[in-house]
Amino acid sequence: MGKKKQPVAVNNINQLNLEIDYDKLAEAIVRALEKAKEPPKDSEVAKRKRVWLAVRSILKGEKSNDGRFLAAPFAFVVSIVFRVVALMGALAITVFDFGVVYSLVMAEWQGVSIAANIVIIIISFALTVAGLLYMVVFWGAANDVEHEKDKNYVISVFSGLMSVAALIVAIISLYKGIS
């Protein structure tokens, strides 16, 4: 008669041979990571309640723990500036394209000028695509600054924008003084 084989005991603990389904484990990890990335779903009532709690704490003279009261106005101004630059740039690119199309319609399409016109079309198309992509980057920068929590970073960006504005004003005043 055959003797049944007993599990091997290591340090008085029976050793078990478990098989792990790695595909199911990977799917569970992916689901958990996706769920962790989702923002919590707050009801409108909870959002309104938080707003009124923040207003009450501001009026009571309490300070925020994370500096959001200091960073929020600067982030708002920088975000608006970036959005205005993006919209004005897109408008300038559109006006440029209308000018190019108008000049090409009025241009002479005979002989050597055909090659020059085609080169103008290629260059203007490349400039349009590059410019629009740059305006999308400005719009993305506005989104980033708007959601930034680090008050030092937000104030640094605001200071940088103000120094660029001061430089532009100084250059204009120098130019006006020369002429």
pLDDT, one tens digit for every residue, the chain (179 residues): 555 555 555 555 555 556 777 788 888 888 888 777 776 666 666 767 777 777 787 788 777 776 677 788 888 899 999 999 999 999 999 999 999 999 988 888 888 888 888 999 999 999 999 999 999 999 999 999 988 888 888 889 999 999 999 999 999 999 888 76
Residue 179: what pLDDT? 63
Plot region of 12 (φ>0 → left; ψ -120 to 50 → alpha; else → beta): left
Residue 43: what pLDDT? 66
The token duo for 133 is: 């992509």
Report the distance separating Cα 8 and Cα 26, nearest Å. 30
Residue 133: what pLDDT? 96
Q: Is residue 124 within 8 Å of residue 100, measured between CB atoms? A: yes
The DSSP element (H or E) to which 77 belongs, if any, is helix 68-106
Residue 128: what pLDDT? 96
Among 132, 50, 149, 151, CA closest to 94: 132
End-to-end CA distance of the chain: 115
- Bridge partners (DSSP) listed for residue 9: 14
CA dihedral 76, 164, 138, 94 (to 10 degrees): 120
Residue 101: what pLDDT? 92
Q: Where along the chain do its domains lie?
A: 67-178
Rounded to two decimals, the pTM is 0.61
Residue 8: what pLDDT? 56
Whole-angstrom Cα Rg for the chain: 31
Looking at residue 65, the DSSP 8-state letter turns out to be: S
Residue 55: what pLDDT? 78
